[in-house]
Amino acid sequence: MAILSFIVILAYILSPSSLATELDSIHVSQSLSDGMTLVSQGGKFELGFFSPGNSHKRYLGIWYKKIPVHTVVWVANRANPINDFSGTLTVKSTGNLSLTENGTETTFWSTISRKQAKNPVLELLDSGNLVLRNEGESNPKAYLWQSFDYPSDTYLPSMKLGRDLQNGFDWCVTSWKSRNDPSPVGFSLGLVLNDYPEFSIMNGTKNLYRAGPWNGLYLSGYPDLSYTYIFETTYVKNKDEISYSSNTKIDSILARAVINQTSQSITQYIWDDNLQNWKSFGSKPVDVCDKYDLCGAFSYCSVTEPQHVCQCFKGFSPKSPEAWNSNNSSQGCIRDKPLSCNNVTSTDGFVKYTGLKVPDTQHTKLHENINLDECRNMCLKNCSCMAYANSDIRGGGSGCVMWFGNLIDIKMFQSGGQDLYIRMPALESGLQHRNKKKVIITSIIGAICATVLLCVYVIYRVQRNNIEWSKAELFEGYVNDTDLPMFDLLMVTTATDNFSLNNKIGQGGFGTVYKGKLADGQEIAVKRLSHSSGQGMTEFLTEVKLIAKLQHRNLVKLLGCCTGGQEKLLVYEYMVNGSLDNFIFDRMKSKLLEWPQRFLIIFGVARGLLYLHHDSRLRIIHRDLKLSNVLLDDKLNPKISDFGIARAFGVDQTHGNTNRVIGTYGYMAPEYAINGLFSVKSDVFSFGVILMEIISGNRNRALCHANETLNLVGYAWMLWKEDRPLELIDPNIKESCVIPEVLRCIHVSLLCVQQHPEDRPTMASVLVMLGSKMDLVEPKEPGFFSCRLPTEVSSHSDQHNIITLNDELTITSLDGR
């Protein structure tokens, strides 16, 4: 008997749930003893007793059930462990939970519910939330009690951080004391309830790192939005609560954030199925500039500063130069010149700074219903107001927040961040020279100088009537013909931070694409044609001429263009989710595009291509259709982009040929790649390849690494002939896919990539076939399914230049040069 008891005890220690009896709910008449577990309906989480680390003490907790790494996300009796295996969880008829030692009245943990109980039942949800509710009641607001109101050290998707104003308690995560002891210590992440509320990591009452206030898009201290494809965030501020929550966009992704006492940080994790372990994808604090109030008052911290991360704002100097030069910046900076504010004749102004984490909000005043101009005037009238900003930066910005007293804990980001207007005396803010005579004289002198310079410039340009002038005239003629807006070069360079590498979002054969933000807050994508591109102006004019008059929901919108010096810029609407290839070929992002969404994307691309071929004023052949040229908006709607090498035909013209073959090998139809022949059917071929890549999650050339003979098209053809087409399906969509739809799409894709153009369907037929249950003809052998370049292309080294780019081959004819 003693041996048996020892075996049972050992089993408990090594695997808390290995001998457990699983329940799906606990009623008043039931209890959960050590050795039993409560499992969520989908089997994602499990509640039971466990011993952390090397400890033999017993705790009631929740962990992930299906992964091999035992990961606890919540603990009930954190500060009051049970010393043996006698723990029992009981549901009381009063609507409370009680954790006791079996056979005694000793209580280790309990809950208090203020709501009336009627036959209460305890359940564990697939979100990881342990809920006590009245039987038959599913409204979360009616829960008698829930564990999400009392987090441990782990933040789970859909949890809230903030304050329950109605019931007077905080939602915050608190670190374990050690890996063997889950008792809460003073290290926590939660809401600091200032007039402009913000989130901070605290050690007791000491601020260690400010995540900052919510600005409508993100927490001010966390501008990195690179994981918006995985998470969607929600901020709520009303009379009942102030809360921030983040949820995964699909349930199959396992994500968590853990606050750690040892590292004094909060780290975000995603479960990696391939590695069978947790993968970190972000941690706060990030760098030394995240340390609270590192630089003192009226200064900012920037890790890009080579000598000293702390810098005084313009018009301020170190309060203690000696300490400052010794890298002790805690005393901050003071003004070089005093403010003139006296509530009557103030000549103070404001200097705008961009890319900041806003200052500590302890001494702030929030006005959510006034605009930025009203905010400025209100701040200017109050001598204690040192800065102001929009409280909501979405769109053009709205709301007003004002700071009083010293401005502390400001960080300057390399990209992202907010605008802040800091109060300065007139001389520093550029508001001097109010004397009207001086203004008039200065204006006259400026006008004369400008006139002289203009005359010199005109004479110079007339004398230099060369090809650059001709190109500019040609360009302006195109623009005038299309009624396309012209953007100012300074406006575009400012919007892109002078084409900063931090704003680079794409690279194409003829230039680079940058993200930008106009003064009114509108986000844009700027295509900057390469200065060294021999055909740059040709592609530029082509894209302007073609896309300016195209209007379709599945085509990217050209907002305007810009030239100046050697610059040739196209300004597009910004697609927040980037290109489709970044989703399909990314291990994590691809999980977000389940089959229904991919099917809608396929239809969207097909509709856009049909518009180009049949419904636009001119018949347009794209010639470079590929996944990277399909962009996704905020709702994942597809839009075809990059018309730099497109060709326009008259209504009666159906095909053309060229000695200048440009495009991406793997997407080009064989008749175009080899002989320069192109038509609407060559675009259909490219669409067929795209369709296969969306279904399989593989690049057309990716399979070449494993098989020297077949690319994706050839592999799909082989599977089709062997009656095994379902093996082509991306594992990420196998659970969500509708088999008849996927099979039809595979069938249509093979019809699109047939060897001979006359065998391929039109895009009108493609849409009909995709959207109906009509019988389809059997596809013939596809063209171009070898991994090796065709001999006609690879042997003509004097006529073709092959450029490797992102594992694709872009073929550009050099016409014998």
Q: Is 624 a catalytic residue?
A: yes
Contacts of 721 (CB under 8 A, 6+ apart): none
Between CA 815 and CA 817 the distance in angstroms is: 6
Between CA 715 and CA 728 the distance in angstroms is: 8
Between CA 692 and CA 747 the distance in angstroms is: 10
Instruction: Provide the annotated binding site for ATP.
Output: 527
Active-site residue identified among 34, 360, 497, 624: 624
Exposure on the CB side of residue 257, measured as CA atoms within 13 A: 26
Between CA 371 and CA 85 the distance in angstroms is: 62
- Cα separations (Å) of 663 from 257, 606, 682, 803? 44, 19, 11, 10
β strands within 553-703, DSSP E: 558-564, 567-573, 619-621, 630-632, 638-640, 647-649, 655-657, 662-665, 677-679
Determine contact, residues 667/624, Cβ cutoff 8 Å: yes
Going edge to edge, which strands form the sheet with 265-272?
Answer: 154-155, 255-260, 265-272, 277-284
- Cα separations (Å) of 227 from 202, 255, 337? 25, 12, 44
User: Angle 525-573-421 (CA atoms, 0-180°, nearest 5)?
Assistant: 70
- In this structure, what DSSP letter does residue 761 have? P
Between CA 405 and CA 278 the distance in angstroms is: 44
Cross-strand partners of 438: none
- Residue listed under structure tokens 């079996």: 102
Q: At 480, is the secondary structure helix, strand, or coil?
A: helix
Between CA 743 and CA 749 the distance in angstroms is: 10
Residue closest to 583 by CA, chosen among 493, 511, 425, 690 = 690
Between CA 8 and CA 11 the distance in angstroms is: 5
Write the DSSP string, 580-617: THHHHT-TTGGGG--HHHHHHHHHHHHHHHHIIIIISS
Read off the tokens for 406: 């010293």
Q: At 115, is the secondary structure helix, strand, or coil?
A: coil
Residue closest to 782 by CA, chosen among 701, 693, 697, 720 = 720
- Residue listed under structure tokens 């200052």: 359
String of b and e for 7-25 (b: at least 16 CB within 10 Å)? eeeeebeeebbeebeebee
Q: Which residues are catalytic?
A: 624
